[in-house]
Amino acid sequence: MRSEKLHFALQACEEGGVDFDDVAALLMATDEDGGAIRAGAEEVLLRYCGSKVRFRGLVEFSNVCRCDCFYCGIRAGNREVQRYTLGREEIVEAALWCAEQGYGSVVLQSGERRDEEFIRLTESCVREIKERSRSARLPRGVGITLCVGEQTRETYARFFAAGAHRYLLRIETTSPELFAKIHPPRQSLESRIQCLRDLRETGFQVGTGVMIGLPGQTAADLARDILFFREMDMDMIGMGPFIAHRQTPLGKQIKDDPEGKRRILDLSLRMIAVTRLVLRDVNIAATTALQAMHPLGREMGLRHGANVIMPQATPVRVRRNYQPYEGKPCMDESVTQCRGCLVERIKGLGRELSADDWGDSAHAICRINRKI
Ligand code: SF4
């Protein structure tokens, strides 16, 4: 039987008046109540977003990064990583392959760089992908999401003018204390929040997300993260479990703990479900990191309210060099195998695959329509 607290929290979600106590109650509900939360999230997903799963072909085009986030395997300070940056033609070809497969959207992701050479490469790839992907099936060309870190307003404006229309910048945590523990002092929470604001003012549909299961993180921190997504009016959310990487300062402190891993997976799925209940019409990704925790992790994410999947489109020869966390799956499968595997997984859930569609979130579409 549902506890009274859970009953009122679910009702508050239904009525759109959810507060911190409600979100915390949903996150901390017992495993017994977890079934009702998951079912509620799935129902909200179907009502506000439909049953379609959106594909975003993921092209990790460079692992060079100027930052030193303490949890990340491709941080600048990790000398054991073989660095790469794909050439323009290879990036464009990877994105065009996605468009031909009917993905409708691609994500161009890299470490963070702010030099002119990098900005120009990104800008020219976006422009060329847009131009060359226009077809009868995709008259506006393939949708492009960028995930290339904190940049200046001017750079965001250049990327937007080139044709990218969505941008993902994860906040990782909204707790100032936790943020300071997992980043070097020159990286700040304020600067990241300002970037999210700049992106929205530039015209992008904006996404963010957090890591779940960070050492010292509490349910109250995660509840505040969800309220932050709402306050910032985010269009898309990409969250994943914290998975230690041994070549990082944070990873070196973490001991192997299978029971702890299971708890983090459960909490990650609960975060997806509660985010869906609170935000309702945003896009939420079932991230690859879920599959690193469990072979069916991405399916589980979809069953908890997620509606976006990012099939690998990074060339296999460099894929092993892009590992922000350990145990990243899909390292050796060809892009075609990745596609086939995910299509089967989605069919197995009885969900449909969206084709030749940018797959913007219902939330973004409503906001844009309000302005027109
Ligand atoms: S998390 Fe992003 S910004 Fe931080 S080190 Fe890794 S790639 Fe760079």
- 108 ligand 1 Cβ < 6 A: no
Q: Could you please report the per-residue DSSP string of 266-294?
A: HHHHHHHHHHHHHH-SSEEEE-HHHHHH-
Domain membership flag for residue 95: yes
- Whole-number Å distance, alpha carbon 137 to ligand 1 midpoint, is 35
Tally of domains within the chain: 1
Euclidean distance between CA atoms 46 and 63, whole angstroms = 36
pLDDT for the residue numbered 3? 78
pLDDT for the residue numbered 1? 47
- 119 ligand 1 Cβ < 6 A: no
The angle at the Cα of 327, spanning 239 to 172, to the nearest 5 degrees, equals 25
- Whole-number Å distance, alpha carbon 68 to ligand 1 midpoint, is 7
Domain membership flag for residue 99: yes
- 209 ligand 1 Cβ < 6 A: no
Ligand 1, atom 4, lies closest to the CA of 69
How big, in percent rounded to 5, are the helix, strand and coil portions of the chain? Answer: 50, 15, 40
- Whole-number Å distance, alpha carbon 65 to ligand 1 midpoint, is 6
Domain that residue 290 falls in: 21-371
Ligand 1, atom 5, lies closest to the CA of 75
Domain membership flag for residue 322: yes
Ligand 1, atom 7, lies closest to the CA of 111
In tens digits, the chain (372 residues) has pLDDT values of 467 888 889 999 989 889 999 999 999 998 889 999 999 999 999 999 999 999 999 999 999 999 999 999 999 999 999 999 999 999 999 999 999 999 999 999 999 999 999 999 999 999 999 999 999 999 999 999 999 999 999 999 999 999 999 999 999 999 999 999 999 999 999 999 999 999 999 999 999 999 999 999 999 999 999 999 999 999 999 999 999 999 999 998 888 888 899 999 999 999 999 999 999 999 999 999 999 999 999 999 999 999 999 999 999 999 999 999 999 998 998 989 989 999 999 999 999 899 999 999 999 999 999 877
Euclidean distance between CA atoms 155 and 114, whole angstroms = 9
- What CATH number is associated with residue 199? 3.20.20.70
Domain membership flag for residue 4: no
The amino acid sitting at 219 is A
Domain membership flag for residue 123: yes
pLDDT for the residue numbered 255? 81
Domain membership flag for residue 12: no
- 234 ligand 1 Cβ < 6 A: no
Domain membership flag for residue 355: yes
Domain membership flag for residue 334: yes
- 150 ligand 1 Cβ < 6 A: no
The angle at the Cα of 281, spanning 134 to 29, to the nearest 5 degrees, equals 140
